[in-house]
Amino acid sequence: MPYLSDTNILLRWVQLDDPTHSLAVAAVRRLHTQGEIVYVTPQNFIEFWSVATRPRAANGLGFTPDQAEAAIHELEQLFPLAPDTTAIYPEWRRLVNGFGVAGVKAHDARLVAVMMIHGITHILTFNVDDFQRFTGIIVVHPQELGTGA
Is residue 72 in a domain?
yes
Is residue 111 in a domain?
no
Which tens digit of pLDDT belongs to each residue from 38-58?
Answer: 999 999 999 999 999 999 999
**Which range marks the domain in which residue 42 is found?**
3-83+120-145
Residue 147: band (very low, low, confident or very high) from pLDDT cuts 50, 70, 90 = low
Domain of 141: which CATH number? Answer: 3.40.50.1010
Is residue 40 in a domain?
yes
Is residue 48 in a domain?
yes
Is residue 110 in a domain?
no
Q: How many residues make up the chain in this entry? A: 149
Going through 3-132 in order, the beta strands assigned E by DSSP cover: 3-5, 38-39, 122-124
What is d(CA 75, CA 40) in angstroms, rounded to the nearest whole number?
9
Q: What is the number of structural domains in the chain? A: 1
- Report the predicted TM-score, pTM, of the whole model to 2 decimal places: 0.95
What b-and-e string marks burial along 80-90, b requiring 16 or more CB atoms within 10 Å of the CB?
A: eebeeeeebee
- With both helix axes pointing from N to C terminus, report the angle between 21-33 and 7-14 in degrees, rounded to the nearest 10: 110
Is residue 102 in a domain?
no
